[in-house]
Amino acid sequence: MAQHGKKYQEANKLVDPNASYPLNEAIELAKKAAYARFDETVELHLRMNLDPRNADQQVRGTTSLPHGLGKKIRILVFAQGEAAKVAEQAGADYVGADDLIKKIEDGWLDFDVAIATPDMMGKIGKLGKILGRRGLMPNPKLGTVVPAADLPKVIGEASKGRVEFRLDRTGNIHLAVGKVGFDTEKLRENLLAAIEAIVRAKPSGAKGQYIRRATIATSMGPGVKLDLRSVLAAI
């Protein structure tokens, strides 16, 4: 098992591993335990009471965080003709069709969100293996395949911090909810928005306690367990 460095060990002493903290206290503790020289990302980790092998227990969706993620979101739009003009005017960083498909096939992936108009899906289907494993493939269920008229709204939401969540093969959900540099209230609102969206996405096959455990942590710091009952009461 890998050994943590001295800075992590010192930070870890601040957290009681047997305690569950109220949300504000947990956020402040996670911020205090952050020790990296860069502005670390604050992450939410949920242990779900779901079996990822069952089709009726899958969770996947998106939500817009009230205060974004604290970083520039690079948006790519697969579109052509008039739709391409709409995407450019709406502020997309990269807009194109065959040219972008070829660029991605050659290994370029310098973007954070991919959006497409329905007429482009036949062309970009061959990018499924490349984009799918990175969570970048446009998907109608996630609201990233939309007609030209809806591009301004979707691009605007993505630029402000629209995040995707999904159940992984180990039955957990992980997502970023902000930066250490955010004040406590902004992180609180982002966290509650994320958890509320996941609760709304509860699958039909879920039984018993939906979320077993919730933990927040910074990129490099120790995990801080949340008092789940009080958090759920706040949404």
Domains of the chain in sequence order = 6-59+167-234 (3.30.190.20), 75-160 (3.40.50.790)
Give pLDDT, residue 3.
65
Q: What is the DSSP string of 87-112?
A: HHHTT-SEEESHHHHHHHHTT----S
Q: What angle do CA 100, 104, 106 make, to 5 degrees?
A: 120
Place of tokens 């402000």: 160
Across 197-225, average pLDDT: 96
Nearest to 65 by CA among 85, 47, 41: 41
pLDDT of 15 strictly over 50: yes
Q: What is the mean pLDDT of residues 108-112?
A: 94
Look-up: residue for tokens 């609180």? 188
Does 133 or 87 have the greater pLDDT score? 87
Question: What does pTM read for this prediction?
Answer: 0.79
Q: Region 142-157: what's the mean pLDDT?
A: 94
Q: Facing residues of 224 across strands?
A: 216
pLDDT at 1 over 50: no
**pLDDT score, position 75:** 96
Q: How many residues does the chain have?
A: 235
Band of pLDDT at residue 88, cut at 50, 70 and 90:
very high
Residues 6+ apart with CB under 8 A from 176: 41, 42, 43, 44, 69, 163
**For position 142, what pLDDT does the model report?**
86
Q: What share of the chain is helix, strand, coil (3-state, %, to 5)?
A: 40, 20, 40
Q: What's the rounded Cα separation, in Å, for the pair 176 and 131?
A: 19
Residue 4: the pLDDT is: 75
Task: Compute CA distances 21 → 46, 56, 113, 179, 199, whole Å.
Answer: 15, 32, 33, 19, 20
Q: Write phi, then psi, for 152 (nearest 5 degrees).
A: -55, -45
In this predicted model, what pLDDT tens digit does every residue of 30-76 receive, in sequence order?
999 999 999 999 999 999 999 999 999 999 988 989 999 888 889 99
Instruction: Return mean pLDDT, the chain.
Output: 94
Cβ atoms of 60 and 165 within 8 Å: the answer is yes
- The conformation of residue 163, written as its DSSP 8-state character, comes to E
Mean local confidence (pLDDT), 95-105: 97
Instruction: Report the C-alpha gap between 176 and 157 in whole angstroms.
Output: 16
Confidence tier at 141 by pLDDT (50, 70, 90): confident
The number of helices, as runs of H, and strands, as runs of E, in the chain is 9, 9
- List of E strands, 59-204: 60-64, 75-78, 94-96, 113-116, 162-166, 172-179
Model confidence at 111, pLDDT cuts 50, 70, 90, reads very high
Encode pLDDT of 156-207 as tens digits. 989 887 888 999 999 999 999 999 999 999 999 999 999 999 999 999 999 9
